[in-house]
Amino acid sequence: MVSRSDTPQDTVALVPAAGRGERLGPGAPKSLRHLGGEPLVVHAVRRLAAARSVAAVVVAAPPGAADLVHDLLAPVITTAELLVVEGGGTRQASVAAALAAAPGHCDVVLVHDAARALAPPELADAVAAAVRAGHPAVVPVLPVVDTVRQLGPDGVVSSTVDRELLRLVQTPQGFARAVLAEAHAACDDSLTDDAGLVERLGLPVHTVPGHPNALKVTRPFDLVVASAVLASESAMAGSRV
Ligand code: C5P
């Protein structure tokens, strides 16, 4: 059996958690909305901190909520260093703020959306291991199961896209630290993930199998699905006792 102390712990996980979550409807910032009695950011960070590879977690909190988020997380995060900074006006700005605060000894960086609150620790470890194996950028992906059609400007179907070549991209995404820093320095604010920035540098982005539990909570229905995932996790844990 591999224990935490047998594995390299030089990975820092950055958690952008500063989004307002308008598509979820009126209420608190998305990362502070509750799922099974706890805020999404607590679920997300607990799972990251449980990953064997993760030595430190840096959370980019909603503006004005850094102290609150720190107080929520400090009692539940005991196996990794915890830092909380204020996020920015865009996801990319939030990631950049977290990266600037990341401990210097960590040379592998994971970036993980607080909104993907139930991504399992094993997914973080698989992504970090692929970076450590030499890939400068790594993303977890799932196949596309629906038929995908492209529309023309008139809203009418113009073509069918070959879904065998398509993948849905999740987080945590993993990077050699120097590569992520260069990508952030070089690019504008227009992309929705970090691997896209690395792609613009012309570097290859490696894929590993994603996980259905790493679904992103965006709309109210996603909270319903996430609640069901959480309940099934608890039921499985209960049946193992
Ligand atoms: O809005 P969306 O779900 O795409 O955001 C993805 C992640 O980026 C979320 O965890 C959200 O909290 C975070 N984010 C952020 N700062 C922003 C906007 C989004 O940290 N300004």
In a domain, 156, yes or no: no
Q: What is the mean pLDDT of residues 217-237?
A: 95
Cα(241) to centroid of ligand 1, in Å? Answer: 36
* pLDDT in the model for residue 86: 98
**What is the pLDDT confidence band of residue 194, given thresholds at 50, 70 and 90?**
very high
In a domain, 155, yes or no: no
Q: Is the pLDDT of residue 185 over 60?
A: yes
In a domain, 78, yes or no: yes
**What is the pLDDT confidence band of residue 8, given thresholds at 50, 70 and 90?**
low
Nearest atom (ligand 1) to Cα of 218: 3
What percentage of the chain has pLDDT greater than the value 70?
A: 96
Residue range of the domain that includes 49: 4-139+170-240
Lowest model confidence (mean pLDDT) among 103-117, 125-139, 176-190: 176-190
The pocket around ligand 1, CB under 6 angstroms, is made up of 16-19, 30-31, 60, 87-91, 94, 113-115, 216, 218
CA gap 241, 239 in Å, rounded: 6
Write the CA distances from 30 to 20, 48, 139, integer angstroms: 6, 18, 23
Backbone angles phi, psi at 43, to 5 degrees: -60, -50
* pLDDT in the model for residue 241: 60
Cα(92) to centroid of ligand 1, in Å? Answer: 9
Cα(17) to centroid of ligand 1, in Å? Answer: 6
For ligand 1, mutation pick of 22, 42, 48, 94 (most atoms within 8 Å of CB): 94
* Mean pLDDT, all residues of the chain: 93
Which three-class secondary structure string do you get for 155-209?
CCEEEEECHHHCEEECCCEEEEHHHHHHHHHHCCCCCCCHHHHHHHCCCCCEEEE
Per-residue pLDDT tens digits for 33-49: 999 999 999 999 999 99
* pLDDT in the model for residue 126: 98
Q: Is the pLDDT of residue 78 over 60?
A: yes
For residue 143, give the DSSP letter. Answer: E
Lowest model confidence (mean pLDDT) among 23-37, 48-62, 191-205: 191-205
In a domain, 124, yes or no: yes
Return the bridge partners of 141, or none: 169, 209
Reduced to 3 states (helix: H, G, I; strand: E, B; else coil), residue 212 is helix
Q: What is the mean pLDDT of residues 168-189?
A: 93
Cα(104) to centroid of ligand 1, in Å? Answer: 24
In a domain, 89, yes or no: yes
Per-residue pLDDT tens digits for 23-37: 999 999 999 999 999
For ligand 1, mutation pick of 91, 169, 189 (most atoms within 8 Å of CB): 91
Q: Is the pLDDT of residue 232 over 80?
A: yes
Number of domains, the chain? 1
CA gap 107, 12 in Å, rounded: 8
In a domain, 58, yes or no: yes
* pLDDT in the model for residue 85: 98
- The CATH number covering residue 205 comes to 3.90.550.10
Return the bridge partners of 29, or none: none
* pLDDT in the model for residue 190: 74
